Amino acid sequence: MIKISKNSIAGLAVLLVLMTVDAVFAQNKVKGNSKFPFHMPEVQLPKFKADTLNILDFGAIPNTNMLCTKAINEAIERTSKSGGGVVLIPSGLWTTGPIKMKSNVNLHTKNGAFIRFTDDMSQYKLINSYFEGSKTIRCESPIMGIDLENIAITGQGIFDGNGMAWRPIKSNKMTAGQWEELVKSGGVLSKNGKTWYPSQGALTGNEEQDKLPKIRTIDNMEPYKQALRPVMVSLVNCKKVLLDGVTFQNSPAWNVNPLMCEHLTINNVNIRNPWFSQNGDGLDIESCRIGKVTNCRFDVGDDAICIKSGKDKEGRDRAKPTELFVISDCVVYHAHGGFVVGSEMSGGVRNILAKNLTFIGTDCGLRFKSTRGRGGVVENIWVEDVRMSNIPTEAIRFNLYYFGKNAIEDPVTGELMVESMPVTEETPAFRNMYFKNVFINGAKQAVKIMGLPEMPVENIQFKNVFALSEVGMQINYAKQIVFDNVDLSLEKQDFSVKMANSQNVSFQNFNSIGQKQLFLIGGDSTKTISLNSKNKKMDFQDIKIPETIRSQVELID
């Protein structure tokens, strides 16, 4: 009889995991063409007649505070009714209320065109709209289009949403001098004096919910409309959309939000918000199919490039995943997250390729987040060729326990120990993701993975990751995770990797310098761990681990 050791069984299990992961990605690559790891349809671009109408011919007056709303919208309406074409906004300062896009119209802005949306709240009607993944009453967006086809906003102009007229601001996001000037400008303060609001209605709508109508209607919410901040660019259920060359900045809430759109092209666009802007997301692609985001720049107050698909039951019932997107050649400066999936992802996210991205000073680089109650599946995500510098938190973060509470710490690793719950349609799942060629020059932490005990983050492969960071990696509630050719240079004398409650995790060609010890492993459910160092022969002196799970770890020469 041939005796097989537990370590050999563990090694065989890890080998099977590696083969499975490689097979998954190979299979997906076969399905697509040479450029993409999945079948990526050609993104259809809108086409327009050459006919051009100038807003000057409709009575628009530049370089004044006179509203051009009527002129712009009449030009758009006329162009659409005549079969389509171009509406031209020449150079100059233009003040306007909401712009309403129509099918077959290219709203083209000349270099030097600065379109500023008015702070006159009476210009923005309350409507039934969407925000943060849910149907809700909201003010009209500065730029909006619903059920349209063949539309574009192009040129070199700047659209400014005048967000300071809408947004609350927290005192800890400003210097003492800035805060003093803001308070002197008017508005009202919260009871604790730490948040400024532009009006009493805005304060009541945000902080005094008990004073709001129990059954909310467009009419009875009018006094609180300044709290119902719109996204700046709202395109709902539109097909063949092009945003090219323009700048969108200073939005009331989210900046650009395509929702349930198909064939979306965003190219050479600048999206900017003050770093302190509340809900100041850059681009929120929500429940959309087939698109490209290329060569864009982001400097915003919340997440930058966000992939979403609705929130909780409403998102699950909508059942429209965001899928078939390529995001490439983009730069993110300040943002809460550079490339982000979630947390409103209840309709699912799949078949996304993100490549050649640069994050400079972004709070978190690659950010994946959800929580119990969301449901939805995020899968088949490829991220390649990413550079990060000066990241204040984690360079790569998975958190499926977003907003979670009431957890205790693992006595060995200090990781959160979360009570397992039954798997239901409300359980989010993140799986089948591939990260390749990630370079991190300065971060608080290189990688943090926090799944759920009932639904671990699953089937993730990291290849060629090089990180200079304060500390290394944390892994909790994960399975089928492969790290291949990871190199850490750590600034703090801590463990390179802390791991708990995880299964089938493999480190191949792993190297780390600057740590006090390589691995800290705990968690009663931890099993089948394989460790290999490319520069030294590992032994159990490199690992702090309870004897109860030591047999689950195999050291490979």
Catalytic residues: 302, 336
Q: Do 52 and 73 contact (CB within 8 A), yes or no? A: no
Q: How far apart are CA 277 and CA 272, in angstroms?
A: 10
Residues 92 and 87: their CA atoms lie apart, in Å, by 15
Which residue, chain included where needed, has tokens 């689950």? 552
Report, in this order, helix, strand and coil percent for the chain, each rounded to 5.
Answer: 15, 45, 35
Q: What's the gap between Cα 402 and its chain centre?
A: 14
416 membership: H or E segment, kind and range = strand 416-417
**CA 474 distance to own-chain centroid:** 21
Indicate if the alpha-carbon torsion angle 489, 543, 454, 411 is positive or negative. negative
Residue 296 CA to residue 305 CA, distance in Å, equals 10
C-alpha span between 110 and 313 (Å, rounded) = 44
HEC secondary structure over 37-70: CCCCCCCCCCCCCCCEEEHHHHCCCCCCCCECHH
What's the number of CA atoms in the CB half-sphere (13 Å) around residue 366?
Answer: 29
Distance CA 69, CA 88 (A): 14
Task: Identify residue 148 by its one-letter amino acid code.
Answer: L
Sole residue written with tokens 């948040």: 195
Q: 285 with 108: CB under 8 angstroms?
A: no
Helix, strand, or coil (residue 214): coil
CB neighbours of 218 closer than 8 A, spacing ≥ 6?
A: 126, 127, 128, 137
Q: Report the candidate in 261, 254, 258 with the shortest Cα–Cα distance to residue 277.
A: 254
Q: Are 242 and 152 in contact (CB under 8 A)?
A: yes
Cβ neighbours of residue 321 closer than 8 Å, sequence gap 6 or more: 287, 309, 347, 348, 349, 350, 376
Cβ–Cβ under 8 Å, residues 167 and 277: yes
Cβ 472 vs Cβ 446: under 8 Å? yes
CB neighbourhood size of 192 (10 A): 8
SS3 313: helix
